[in-house]
Chains A and B, each alone.
Chain A
Amino acid sequence: MSMGPRPRPRPAAGPRTGPPAAGPEGTLVVRAQARHGDFRLDVALRVEPGRLVAVLGPNGAGKSTLLGAIAGTVPLEAGEVAVGERVLSRVAGPDEGAVGERVLSRVAGPDEGAVGERVQSRVAGPDDRASSVSGRGAWSTSSRRASTVSGRRVQVPVASRRVGLLGQDALVFPHLSVRENVAFGLRAAGVGAGEARAAADGWLERLGLPGFGDRRPDELSGGQRQRVAIARALAAGPDVLLLDEPFAQLDVRVAAGLRETLLDQLAATATPVVLVTHDALDALTLADHALVLHDGRVVEEGPPLELFSEPRTEFSAALAGLDLVRGRARGGTVHVDVEAGTGPRGSATLEVPLPADPTGAVAAGPPDGPVVLTFAPGDVRIVPGDAPVPPDGTGELVWLARVVDLERGPRGVRVRTSADVVADLTALEAAALALRPGDDVRLAVDAARARVRPA
């Protein structure tokens, strides 16, 4: 078998999608509403072949649920997951004619053709449906009957979706040699042992592990195991690859090498990839596009560089190493509500006349409405004491806060305050201030140093 092409069958024409049409061949299109207990996920995303979309967000934001919805382990409540023409999951939501659907599913069969969108799914015919979910040829045909394709509801089982998943634990099968691990997907698809092993050796070479085929997994380092897992996932010829913090458990240098390899392989295989990560570096080095999830919704998205240079949420600001404060613009002035820490002071409303910003971002004045201010922690000055806030008009943002804790920081000492703002001081400055957790302080930022954008 040659090194280049993946044993990837062209998907047969599946049940055609309705208006929210899937994009060009091989594009992952997700419009997922799912529920997990009280948690609700409602996310739309689109990944072109060979592109990588990073999904960021705090714990519990819905990242894993999203991956589960694509991988087929989390059922959709409404929406659709499709790769090119191939529908992996589809559930018509309550706003999409659920009543009609209920009637249809009772009537079943021939009457399906009566209503618009269903005409097309009838055209595809039962045979096409079966082959589309079982993947003719290289993919397992054993689970054909397990697919649910009734009316407008589609749920292709995990084993037939051709969605590869790579987590932070490599989960290399401990009872198989490295070669057998990589050959696993091909063997499961019915490819002969010799051919599958040869292909596996090719993948090991491409991932920088030539000659490792006979090793046992417990002889490998963590980085090598993760490389084997990537080789194994790619060798199965997935239509989509999901990466769930694949570098989280590797040390920095190993992770860097692995990112490099992964980028090369993704370019070569033209697979759409969704990467869940906590690491801004992953998004910046790998992703073409990044989403920030919060409470199951996309709250921010864009090219990673843009996202991190102009964050709009506390989460992405923290990832980018910036402080973020929310306010409201009115007539060219920004009013900032800052929780003034614990104690009786409550919050203070500050009116900040913003000077003209050379970048032009503020010069025009932000449109009226909610805004976010971002600034670097190194630009925050700390003034001790709990004296009243000086009057406005000094071109400075000033507010009261309480020191939460001190830790080592990039300039020397990082001070976390109750206002959710961190300040980076040099060790000398910190020593001169003699700060302790619980101290009341005034935080000040030169308004010219702050960037203001609509929230």
Chain B
Amino acid sequence: MTSRAPRLLWLPAALAAGLLVLPVVALVVRADWATLPDDVTSAAARQALALSLGTSLLATGFCLLLGVPLAVVLARASGWGADVLRALVTLPLVLPPTVGGIALLFLLGRRGLIGQSLDAWFGITIPFTTAAVVIAQTFVAMPFLVLGLEGALRTSGTRYEAVAATLGAGRWTVLRRVTLPLAAPGLVSGTVLCFARALGEFGATALFAGNTPGVTRTMPLAIYSAFNGSGVSQGTAVALSLLLVVAAAAVLLAARAWRPGRAGG
């Protein structure tokens, strides 16, 4: 079972690993360890981290709430309509997030397609609020969940579902006890990717939600602001970046440790 990759692959593999790892190393090296504790625990940093984690969790929740049904429907639908929908769902993946931000503004902004009605009828304004942050994050993160789960659902197929039906299980029971548990690995990895994407979201948030401390300034925006030197040193930006790296790594490790239904798989 000890099959080895050809040696020729080692060089590009090493380069790839270097490209992925070395920037983070540079961040660690560049950090000013003397001021780091203060930078990381400053009120602004804590505020930004709390906002980031809160909005990302909320966005992930929305992604699950809406994305799981979408993935199930897509996985079990056929025909050209489903193909078109599948392509449209992946669109936020290939769009630059800034374009997404502008698009959201045109939809939900005060003079947007839906936004103007919201404003006129209910007095609700979405842009530049925390809600806008969550919406922007949900917009960019949902495709990760939908695609991951849909792939898992297609792979697990419908044969187990058919068996469950012959055992007397109605559609909801089949979904709850067979379909989703079988796709659990895809659901978990999709959720993790979804959360990670929401945590790192910058472009759409910046355009649609702005950069108000405590309201819409999430970690990526705080880092950008610190780096652009609006009164703060670059050291703060580095410190905040490290904090985000640690937070993201913690999420990934936690997800790795928990694999549903497959002990040691």
Task: Give Cα A161 to B177, complex, Å.
Answer: 20
Bound Cα distance A169, B160 (Å): 10
Contact between B173 and A171 (Cβ–Cβ < 8 Å)? no
Closest beta carbon of chain B to A226's beta carbon, Å: 13
Q: Are B160 and A139 in contact (CB under 8 A)?
A: no
Does A171 lie within 8 Å of B165, measured CB to CB?
Answer: no
Q: Which residues of B contact A140 (CB under 8 A)?
A: 168-170, 173
In the assembled complex, A175 has its CB within 8 A of some CB on chain B: yes
- From B159, B160, B166, B177, give the contact of A164 (CB < 8 A): B166
CA–CA, A236 and B163, complex, Å: 12
Q: Which residues of A contact B113 (CB under 8 A)?
A: none
Give the residues in chain A near B163, CB-CB below 8 Å.
165, 171, 173
Q: Which residues of B from 144 to 174 have beta carbons under 8 Å from A?
A: 159-160, 162-174
Most B C-beta atoms less than 10 A away, residue of A159, A162, A174, A238: A159
With a cutoff of 8 Å between Cβ atoms, the chain B residues found around residue A233 in the complex are: 166-167
Task: Spot the interface stretch: A58-66, A181-189, A310-318, A444-452.
Answer: A181-189
User: Nearest chain-B residue to A235 (Cβ)?
Assistant: B167
A285 contacts B by Cβ under 8 Å: no
Q: Provide the bound-state CA to CA distance between A120 and B36, in Å.
A: 85
Residue from the list B159, B172, B177 in contact with A184, Cβ < 8 A: B177
* Chain A residues within an 8 Å CB radius of B133: none
- A181, chain B: closest CB distance, angstroms: 10
Chain B residue, CB-CB nearest to A188: B169
Instruction: Decide if B261 is an interface residue (CB 8 Å cutoff).
Output: yes
CB contact list, B21-77 vs A, under 8 A = none
Q: Nearest-CB distance from B181 to chain A (Å)?
A: 5
Report yes or no: A188 in contact with B166, Cβ–Cβ below 8 A.
Answer: no
Q: Give chain A residues whose Cβ lies under 8 Å from the Cβ of B167.
A: 164, 184-185, 188, 232-233, 236
Digitize A225-258: 1 where CB-to-B-CB distance is under 8 Å, 0 elsewhere.
0000000110010100000000000000000000
Are A175's CB and B166's CB within 8 A? no
Residue of B nearest to A229 (CB): B163
CB of B173 within 8 A of CB of A142, answer yes
**Can you add 8 more A-B contacts, CB < 8 Å, to A158-B162, A184-B164?**
A159-B168, A161-B166, A162-B168, A173-B182, A175-B260, A188-B169, A188-B173, A236-B168
Give the 4 A-B residue pairs with the shortest CB-CB distance, closest first: A142-B170, A185-B167, A188-B169, A158-B165
Q: Is the CB of A143 within 8 A of B170?
A: yes
Residues of B within 8 A of A171 (CB): 159-160, 163
User: B215 to chain A: closest CB distance in Å?
Assistant: 43
Q: Please, which residues of chain A bring their CB within 8 A of the CB of B184?
A: 175
By DSSP majority rule, is chain B's interface helix, strand, loop, or mixed? Answer: helix
Chain A residues with CB under 8 Å of chain B are 71, 73, 139-140, 142-143, 157-165, 169, 171, 173-176, 184-185, 187-189, 232-233, 236, 238
Within 8 A of A (CB), among B170-203: 170-174, 177-178, 181-182, 184
Closest approach, in angstroms, between the C-beta of A163 and any C-beta of chain B? 6
Q: How far is the CB of B171 from chain A (nearest CB, A)?
A: 7
The digit string for B217-232, where 1 denotes a CB below 8 A from any CB of A, is: 0000000000000000
Q: Is the CB of B160 within 8 A of A142?
A: no
Quote the shortest CB–CB distance from A239 to chain B (angstroms).
11
Give chain A residues whose Cβ lies under 8 Å from the Cβ of B177: 184, 187-188
List, in ascending order, chain A residues with CB within 8 A of B170's CB.
140, 142-143, 159, 188
Main secondary structure of the interface of A (DSSP, over half): loop
A and B contact pairs by CB, cutoff 8 A, 9 listed? A142-B171, A158-B162, A159-B170, A164-B166, A165-B162, A173-B182, A232-B167, A233-B167, A236-B166
A169 to B159, alpha carbons, bound, how many Å?
Answer: 10
Q: How far is the CA of A161 from the CA of B162 in the complex (A)?
A: 13
Give complex CA distance A427, B178 in Å: 55
In the complex, residue of chain B having the shortest beta-carbon distance to the beta carbon of A160: B168
- In the complex the two chains form, what is the Cα distance from A232 to B174 in whole Å? 15
Q: Which residue of B lies closest to A170 (CB)?
A: B163
State A163–B168 Cα separation when bound (angstroms): 8
Tell me whether A188 and B159 are in contact (CB under 8 A): no
By beta carbon, the residue of chain B nearest A164 is B166
Q: Report B-chain residues with C-beta under 8 Å of the C-beta of A143.
A: 170-171
Q: Give A97 to B170 CA distance when docked, in angstroms.
A: 34
B168 touches A185 (CB 8 A): yes
Does B182 contact A158, Cβ atoms closer than 8 Å? no
Q: Which residue of B lies closest to A241 (CB)?
A: B166
Q: By the criterion CB–CB under 8 Å, are B168 and A139 in contact?
A: yes
Which B-chain residue is minimally distant from A165 (CB atoms)? B166
Chain B nearest Cβ from A85, distance in angstroms: 19
Most buried by B among A164, A175, A188: A175
In the complex with contacts A174-B182, A175-B182, A175-B261, A158-B166 CB distance below 8 A = yes
Asked if residues A184 and B182 are in contact (CB atoms below 8 Å), the reply is: no
A148 to B136, CA, bound (A): 45
Supposing A140-B173, A173-B160 touch, asked if A188 and B181 sit within 8 A by C-beta, the answer is no
A140 to B168, CA, bound (A): 6
Contact in complex: A73, B162 (CB < 8 Å): yes
Minimum Cβ distance to chain A for residue B90 (Å): 28
- State whether B166 touches A163 (Cβ < 8 A): yes
- In the complex, per-residue mask of B107-138: 1 if CB is within 8 Å of any chain A CB, else 0: 00000000000000000000000000000000
On chain B, the residues within 8 Å of A187 by CB distance are 177
- A173–B178 contact, CB under 8 A? yes
Residues of A within 8 A of B261 (CB): 174-175
Q: Which of B169, B178, B181 has the most CB of A within 10 A?
A: B169
Which residue of chain B has its CB nearest to the CB of A144?
B170
Residues of A within 8 A of B165 (CB): 157-159
> Given the complex of chains A and B, what is the CA–CA distance between A159 and B173 in angstroms?
10
Q: Collect the chain B residues with CB atoms within 8 Å of residue A71's CB.
A: 166
Q: How far is the CB of B91 from chain A (nearest CB, A)?
A: 33
Which interface residue of B165, B173, B181 has the most chain A CB atoms within 10 A?
Answer: B165
Taken together as a complex, chains A and B put the C-alpha atoms of A158 and B166 apart, in Å, by 6
Chain B residues whose CB sits within 8 angstroms of the CB of A232 once the complex forms:
167
- Complex: how many Å from CA A232 to CA B166? 11
- Alpha-carbon gap, A139 to B184, bound state (A): 27
